[in-house]
Structures are given as C-alpha cells and as structure tokens.
Amino acid sequence: MVKVYEINGVTPVVHPLAYVHPSAVLIGDVIVGPRCYVGPLASMRGDFGRLVLEEGANLQDCCVMHGFPGDDTVVEVDGHIGHGAVLHGCRIKRNAMVGMNAVVMDQAVVGEDSIIAAMSFIKAGMVIPPRSMVMGVPAKVVRALEEKEIAWKSFGTKQYHELVVRSMQTMREVDSHDEVEPGRKRIEFGFDMHKPKA
C-alpha cells in the first residue's frame, strides 16, 4: 500500500500504470503519471508547490522532490533521477538524467537529453541547453553529448520502464530466509544490463 497523505484538501494522484514503492511518501499536490517508477524511501512533498512526474519518468530510492508555493517541480517524459538526488522547484526536460546525489535548485531548467553528473550542484536559475554534459560544484556545461551517450541514458530509462512491470507483477513483502538456499537463483534479464541493444 502506497503511503499518500492529503494536506489542505489536496491528495496525491498515482496513475494505475505507475509503480510507487510502499516505503515512498507522497504528500499533497503530487501527480505521478503512467509508467513512472518511484523507488524505496523517495519523498515527494507537495505541501507547497506541485510535483509532477510525467510518463515514463523515474525517481529512484532516497530522492527528494520539493518546491516553493506557486511553483511546479517537474520531471518530463522519460526523465531519469538517480539515487539520492534532490530536486527543488526545477524542471527536468524530456529524456534528461540527473545523476546520483546531484542537487538541482529552484528555477533551474535541465535541457532535453542532457546528463547531470553524479554529485553535481545545479544552482538556482541555471538554464542548461539540450544535449549537454554537466558536472561540478557549482555545475558547468562541459561539452555536448554524443549520440551514443544519449542512447546509453535512454537504455537505462528503458530498464526502469521494465522495472515498473516487474515490480507490479512480482514484488511483495515476505519474510527473509535464515540462510542462503542451495542453487540460489539470480534475477535474470533477456539482455546485457550494461549496454544498449544494437
């Protein structure tokens, strides 16, 4: 059961084709679109501004989304937000990626198909052009992305689309085993997890 909380008469919306882990917390003006993934311990605090995950976006474990009154914090279609990232009053454009533990501040816009490196700090109001590689504290655009890098990012997001389906179909709360069983199975994939299909 997803933890959702109404505040000031506003209740989160979760599309039936989205997967939100039961340990995530959604408060108030939160909209999660179809095929989205919201990971364990993610926090979406829509108690001031509106928070939106558009179709196919993912917000991974321990991420935080928040914003100011009257502002929207938006991850557009196929946006990819890595473990532990913080988004505050910003917009992540279509097919962009925010790396692990990066912070994106108020009024910042991450351009379409861009990649923010892990641990980067995107200052308030920064506007990043499409197809940019961005890194640093504070972050700077270091170069344009190559097609193969955008394909790599898109492949990673596709894995999260598949994780939505796997989670909806097979994830359930259980008791742990006391020891490793003989012949313990592995989670199998029909593709190489480290590279896009040709």
Map out the domains of the chain with their CATH numbers.
Answer: 13-144 (2.160.10.10)
* Residue 138, preceding peptide bond in cis (omega within 30° of 0): yes
What pLDDT does residue 187 have?
87
- How far apart, in whole angstroms, are the C-alpha atoms of residue 132 and residue 124? 18
pLDDT at 195 (0 to 100): 59
The predicted pLDDT at position 157 comes to: 94
Per-residue pLDDT at 122 = 98
Q: What pLDDT score does 3 carry?
A: 81
For residue 191, the model assigns a pLDDT of 58
Long-range contacts of 145-150 (CB under 8 A, 24+ apart): 145/113, 145/114, 145/115, 149/115, 150/95, 150/113
pLDDT, mean of each 10-residue run, the chain (198 residues) = 90 97 97 98 97 98 94 97 98 98 98 98 98 97 96 94 94 92 85 55
The pLDDT score that the predictor gives to residue 2 is: 78
